[in-house]
Structure 1
């Protein structure tokens, strides 16, 4: 089974190699992602996030899902000493940095509940894999036609935060200015909820975010700093010289 749809502003591709998994499983994945976008997008004035940000919904009126997302946002705000924050001065509530990985991980769980055991779900370059081996490439942060490294994974999730797609969109909330020090931050973790949130939070921290992310249980790190120096943990798959280090 293979499916590609544009959801949340980026392409989402699904590949399931198990036999007998119904097409309805893929339908459920994309239906959920569209629902998550409608409920949690800060760009939709009628979304739950936007209504809460305008004061129309009190905390006790929020869905359990949004409460969970906001608690994750607060966890990473505290863990980074305020470098990562979904509430910036002069801006509305924007939990997208957490919602993306969280919602795609939920989609992967829907696949497993439908009987899928060997699949890859790729959401704009952030990937959940199961039942590998699967090969996942990490793009060079400054050369679109090159890879930094290739991971071979059986189960887990990989997410990258970088400037190459959206420019300086990740801010260090401590200063209100674009985060500096890193060109890209890739995190391997058991779930995409963790991998995506940690990658963004670590990028906001700058170079110090590499050590912070590496200290988290279950996380492995591959980062490229502004001097194109590769910083990675020993347990990151695909170890060896990379093009980014050249």
Structure 2
């Protein structure tokens, strides 16, 4: 726990869920109370529930059982149907560049439904309702971030990683509320494909998206990366969201509303 000069107390928690480290940073008069502890515990419990339903790496998850025909949507947790419906909405919003219904099977089987590209942002955002509204909080799920800063507490300052240089921040932004999501090849290699061609896109190293909702910031970052060289032009059409693009040559471009640090 740290006590910054501004007089509030800051505390952090980290757990490994959904195959990645997820952290919660809280600011307030006393983030060590039993009520705050219970809120953070409930937050992580929500994420573990999401993993139980949606993990494509677990044979016993509901998404895996549904894929194998062992579970119907009617019998499944209602969240499964809601997320699949959100994936269909994302397909429409992105003109098919986010397509969770026809992704290649890593084991070489037939194309499958994999909502992982939407689930992380959705789950992190949904679980955040458990966190205390009178505290400032910043949650980070593998580099995708959601923040909240109530009146009387400072805004959060977030950094976008440089995809070509270790431990260097490419851009910094200050936010009181909202989300920052990034898609690229630095940490996971080539894992995003253009659904229209089935091939990895060309021309980009990284796309970051700022906006009010982490679910859609994450979806838009993935879809923009899948578009390749047309990413920036498309991002500029999104209402309420801004984008930052790093090309394969290392050039950095942003939409007109991207904040200047």
TM-score by length of structure 1 reads 0.90
Unpaired runs of 5+ residues, structure 2, are 1-10, 105-109
Q: Which stretch has the larger CA shift, 84-93 or 5-14? A: 84-93
What's the counterpart of residue 40 of structure 1? 54
Q: Return 54-63 or 99-108, whichever deviates more.
A: 54-63
Q: Deviations over 1:137-178 (max 9, x none)?
A: 100111122111011111100000010001000111111111
Pair 1:135 & 2:177 matched: no
How many angstroms does 1:181 deviate by? 2.2
For the pair 1:59 / 2:73, whether they are aligned, the reply is yes
> Structure 2: how far apart are the matches of 1:71 and 1:182?
29
Q: Look up the SS of the partner of 2:74 in the other structure.
A: helix
* TM norm structure 2: 0.85
Where do 1:186-197 residues align within 5 Å? 186-197=208-219
Moved more, 170-179 or 51-60: 51-60
| Residue aligning to 2:99 | 85
SS at match of 1:121: strand
Q: More displaced, 39-48 or 201-210?
A: 201-210
**How far apart, in 2, do the equivalents of 1:207 and 1:66 lie?**
33
For the Cα contact (< 8 Å) 1:76–1:201, is it kept in 2?
no
Q: What's the counterpart of residue 43 of structure 2?
A: 29
Equivalent residues of 2:209, 2:242 under 8 A apart: yes
* CA RMSD after TM alignment: 1.7
For residue 178 of structure 1, give the secondary structure of its aligned residue in structure 2: coil
Q: Partner residue of 1:70?
A: 84
| 1:1-246 correspondence to structure 2 within 5 Å | 1-18=11-28, 19=30, 21-86=35-100, 87-89=102-104, 90-111=110-131, 114-131=132-149, 132-238=154-260
Within 1, Cα distance between the matches of 2:45 and 2:175? 27
Q: Deviations over 1:36-70 (max 9, x none)?
A: 11110111111111111112223333433122211
Structure 1 ranges of 4+ moved more than 6 A: none
Residues 235 and 255, structure 2, Cα contact 8 Å, conserved in 1: no
Taking the aligned partners of 1:226 and 1:92, their CA distance within structure 2 comes to: 29
Unaligned ranges ≥5, structure 1: 240-246
Answer yes or no: is the 8 Å Cα contact 2:158–2:172 preserved in 1.
yes
